[in-house]
């Protein structure tokens, strides 16, 4: 099938590449000229495991092309995906201007039937808006479909190729058939393609993300309470997670959720509720608790250093909002680092993939290390913000030799409290006994 993907970011590039992998001819369109030039030169512009192999293979096979021209994309394709940004607007709602501006252009330009598929995360009723916007100018038939994306950055290729389910909101039978044909190769293990109306599909995405953000946040509250009463969140987590009604995933406490999706999607659902005179009280609490959680290590650091963070030097491990990505959007590390800088500390930082993105935002206010141990020299403590695998079993003797004193503030509970006590570290983590030697 002939496909255009408009917007070639984390979602669009993975979508385009994976659809090419199943034999479709795909043009990825983006307004970012530099990005398109890079892709044309065979460079994957984001870090996403396993994407490079598929990217290269499908370019070679002539199934994956790149363009800055919407016209070229529309001329080529019968199926048009919108994978455009829907960032948070000032009032917390989703900014639909990218989607609606492109829809307007599509309406003016299409001359034959197309299925326009919205893959971006959008509030209930957006399909209808897209439909009306295109219809204002369209001279031919078209259908609009809602097809929210559930891929996780860091696992995006796997998630796209082997989805647990595919959600499709489509009222037109013709569009339903096309969507089924398009996605059948991805559900050979009989995971379901769930057909529903457009509004339910749109809401499914917000509901899923808000539920997951709530699960994380609930566990963070339990962790904070563990510290008050001397319980150990590791035990509580396992005790809860082994109940199959609860499940083991998304129960790891830490310094809050971030990323390009959870924060904005929770806020957008909260705002959509308000617009309908419905107060999502749970979401109000989730947002408030998560904001507090992002800097939850700070009071521990202040207490440990007698409220004198000015002049202290810290090593920071992990900057991306989660491991296996270079994405720093809404990363908890950013909030913690800004606060430490504000209090007059200096920071030497390392992340396996997110250094360039952090440099763009923080410039010369940080010291950038080439590798994880290079952050430690003369640091008053190590602070862990992201749970990359390479941080899980470090050489503790190197840590001891390089840090001024062996002190770790761990926002992701990477190590056993007992082990670190034995290694001779002061170790302060989340929801467990703080070891202060």
Catalytic residue positions, numbered? 261
Pick from 17, 24, 93, 120 the residue near ligand NAD by CB under 6 A.
120
**How many residues sit close enough to ligand NAD to count as binding (CB under 6 A)?**
25
384 binds ligand NAD (CB under 6 A): no
Pick from 96, 145, 151, 355 the residue near ligand NAD by CB under 6 A. Answer: 151
Dig out the tokens for 430 from the structure: 């989340």
* 45-48 contacts, C-beta under 8 A, 24 or more apart: 45/8, 45/13, 46/9, 46/10, 46/13, 46/326, 46/327, 47/325, 47/326, 47/353, 48/10, 48/13, 48/14, 48/153, 48/154, 48/156, 48/157, 48/325
| 85 binding ligand NAD? (CB under 6 A) | yes
Q: Which stretch binds ligand NAD (CB under 6 A): 24-32, 266-274, 307-315, 347-355?
A: 24-32
Neighbours of 51 (CB within 10 A): 19
406 is written with which tokens?
């062996």
Judged by beta carbon, residue 109 or residue 421, the one nearer ligand NAD is: 109
Quote the least distance from Cβ 418 to ligand NAD, whole Å: 36
Query: Which of these segments, 146-154, 195-203, 289-297, 307-315, binds ligand NAD (CB under 6 A)?
Result: 146-154
- Contact segment (CB under 6 A) with ligand NAD among 31-39, 395-403, 404-412, 422-430 equals 31-39
395, 315, 394: which is closest to 348 by C-alpha?
315
Eight-class DSSP state of 435: B
Tell me if 357 contacts ligand NAD by CB under 6 A. no
Query: Which residues, 93 to 112, sit near ligand NAD by CB under 6 A?
Result: 98, 102
Q: Which of 5, 11, 345, 358 binds ligand NAD (CB under 6 A)?
A: 11
| Residues in 174-233 at the binding interface with ligand NAD, rule: CB under 6 A | none
Sign of CA dihedral 391, 395, 397, 399: negative
Residue with tokens 């930082």: 349
Query: Smallest gap, in angstroms, from Cβ of residue 185 to ligand NAD?
Result: 20
- Contacts of 133 by beta carbon, 8 Å cutoff, 6+ apart: 100, 103, 104, 107
Strands (E), 204-363: 313-317, 346-350
State the DSSP code for 437.
Answer: -
Measured in degrees and rounded to the nearest 5, phi and psi for residue 117 equal: -110, 120
Binding status of residue 17 toward ligand NAD by CB under 6 A:
no
Binding test (CB under 6 A) with ligand NAD, winner from 17, 24, 58, 86? 86
Residues belonging to the chain: 437
Rounded to whole angstroms, the Cα distance separating 209 from 207 reads 6
Which residue number has the CB closest to ligand NAD?
Answer: 9
| DSSP per-residue string spanning 35-101 | HHHHHHTT--SS--TTHHHHHHHHHHTT-EEEES-HHHHHHH-SEEEE-----B-TTSSB--HHHHH
Contact 29, 100 (CB under 8 A): no
User: Shortest distance, CB of residue 312 to ligand NAD, whole angstroms?
Assistant: 35
Which of 3, 4, 8, 218 binds ligand NAD (CB under 6 A)? It is: 8
Identified binder of ligand NAD from the candidate list 3, 10, 19, 305, rule CB under 6 A: 10
Site string for ligand NAD, 45-84 (x = CB under 6 A): --------------------------------------xx
Question: Rounded to an integer, what distance in angstroms lies between the CA atom of residue 172 and that of residue 179?
Answer: 11
Closer to ligand NAD at the Cβ: 35 or 294?
A: 35
Choice between 136 and 235, CB closer to ligand NAD: 136
Binding site for ligand NAD (CB under 6 A): 6-12, 29-32, 35, 83-86, 98, 102, 120-121, 149, 151, 153, 260-261
């Amino acid at each position: 099938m002939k496909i255009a993907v408009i917007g070639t970011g984390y979602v669009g590039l993975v979508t385009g590449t994976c659809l090419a992998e199943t034999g479709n001819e795909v043009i990825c369109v983006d307004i970012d000229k530099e990005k398109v030039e890079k892709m044309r030169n065979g460079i994957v512009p984001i870090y996403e495991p396993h994407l490079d192999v598929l990217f290269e293979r499908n370019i070679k096979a002539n199934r994956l092309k790149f363009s800055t021209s919407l016209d070229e994309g529309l001329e080529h394709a019968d199926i048009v995906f919108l994978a455009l940004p829907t960032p948070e607007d000032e009032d917390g709602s989703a900014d639909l201007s990218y989607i609606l501006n492109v829809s307007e252009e599509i309406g003016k330009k299409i001359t034959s039937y197309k299925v326009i598929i919205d893959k971006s995360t959008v509030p209930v009723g957006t399909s209808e808006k897209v439909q009306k916007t295109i219809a204002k100018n369209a001279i031919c038939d078209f259908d609009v479909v809602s097809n929210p994306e559930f891929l996780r950055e860091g696992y995006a290729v796997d998630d796209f190729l082997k989805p647990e389910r595919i959600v499709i909101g489509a009222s037109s039978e013709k569009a339903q058939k096309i969507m089924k044909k398009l996605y059948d190769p991805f559900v050979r293990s009989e995971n379901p393609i769930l057909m529903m109306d457009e509004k339910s599909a749109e809401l499914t995405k917000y509901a899923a993300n808000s539920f997951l953000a709530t699960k994380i946040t609930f566990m963070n509250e339990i962790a904070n309470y563990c510290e008050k009463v001397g319980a150990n969140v590791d035990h509580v987590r396992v005790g809860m997670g082994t109940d199959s009604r609860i499940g083991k995933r998304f129960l790891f406490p830490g310094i809050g959720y971030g990323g390009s999706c959870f924060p904005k999607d929770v806020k957008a659902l909260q705002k959509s509720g308000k617009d309908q005179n419905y107060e999502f009280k749970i979401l109000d609490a989730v947002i408030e608790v998560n904001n507090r959680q992002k800097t939850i290590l700070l009071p521990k650091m202040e207490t440990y250093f007698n409220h004198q963070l000015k002049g202290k030097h810290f090593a920071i491990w992990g900057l991306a909002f989660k491991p296996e990505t270079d994405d720093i959007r809404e990363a908890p590390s950013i909030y913690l680092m800004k606060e430490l800088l504000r209090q007059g500390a200096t920071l030497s930082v390392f992340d396996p993939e997110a250094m360039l993105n952090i440099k763009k935002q923080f410039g010369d206010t940080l010291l950038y290390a080439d590798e994880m141990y290079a952050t430690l020299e003369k640091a008053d403590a190590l602070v862990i913000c992201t749970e990359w695998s390479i941080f899980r079993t470090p050489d503790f003797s190197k840590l001891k030799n390089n840090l001024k004193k062996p002190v770790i503030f761990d926002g992701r509970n990477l190590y056993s409290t007992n082990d670190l006590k034995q290694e001779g570290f002061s170790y302060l983590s989340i929801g467990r006994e703080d070891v202060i030697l």
